[in-house]
Chain A
Amino acid sequence: DARVTQTPRHKVTEMGQEVTMRCQPILGHNTVFWYRQTMMQGLELLAYFRNRAPLDDSGMPKDRFSAEMPDATLATLKIQPSEPRDSAVYFCASGSPPWGVRGNTEAFFGQGTRLTVV
């Protein structure tokens, strides 16, 4: 059953703590997205990787957020230090090659990590 897997599903943490969210893309998918969903802002793109290289992280607050792909089966999104305004649902999505101008593929989403910072 090919699916994008995100862990943890829920996370409650205190302000100032480090938070790490993990994503396992669908096997063989070489494109990974991180999105944040809030009531006010909708679905915002935070970072975008292809073949493990970051292509666009312009939507991500650089002072506290970082995103990496240590290998093809794992993407991470880290917040340090966390703040109450970071409370949101964070989604990971993956797309199969060839994702690009001539690509004809769709993206699939994980179930999300619901983060609450108190």
Chain B
Amino acid sequence: GIQVEQSPPDLILQEGANSTLRCNFSDSVNNLQWFHQNPWGQLINLFYIPSGTKQNGRLSATTVATERYSLLYISSSQTTDSGVYFCAVRRNTGFQKLVFGTGTRLLVSP
């Protein structure tokens, strides 16, 4: 099956710092989503971004489908950004299931 790897696995930031999270995948995809799992366990949709670049406030994401990676940028981080960030992908073929990466655990300290 498709492999989805995220880096770094853990990240500690001071409030106000910027960061870049990476998602690499091993096969062609037609769907890529970024999620934030908050400290209460909720999975919140951040971006649906199979290709191109999107921005939403302090967050932006870029997917280069031909090179099989996606990046999530967090600028001016806040303590509420803490949690785990997941990317999930859906292959171009097969059963179209959504496969999750291993996640990046982010801690933003005041």
Contact = CB atoms under 8 A, between A and B. Distances in A.
Given A45-B98, A45-B99, A106-B48, A101 B33 contact: no
Contacts of B102: 42
A11 B86 CA distance: 25
Contacts of B48: 105-106
Nearest to B35: A109
B96 interface: yes
Contact of B96 (A35, A93, A101, A108): A101
Interface string A37-67: 0000011010010000001100000000000
Contact of B31 (A42, A43, A106, A114): A106
B41 interface: yes
A79 interface: no
Dominant SS among interface residues on chain B:
strand
Q: Interface centre among B45, B96, B102, by most A CB within 10 Å?
A: B96
Contacts of A42: 100, 102-103
B53 interface: no
Dominant SS among interface residues on chain A:
strand
Contacts of A108: 45
B86 A43 contact: yes
Contacts, number: 56
B33 A106 contact: yes
A105 B32 CA distance: 10
Interface string A82-118: 0000000101010100011101111111011010000
Interface string A9-46: 00000000000000000000000010100000011010
Contacts of A89: 41
Contact of B95 (A35, A55, A91, A104): A55
Interface of A: 33, 35, 42-43, 45, 48, 55-56, 89, 91, 93, 95, 99-101, 103-109, 111-112, 114
8 contacts: A42-B102, A43-B100, A43-B103, A45-B100, A99-B96, A106-B45, A111-B42, A112-B43
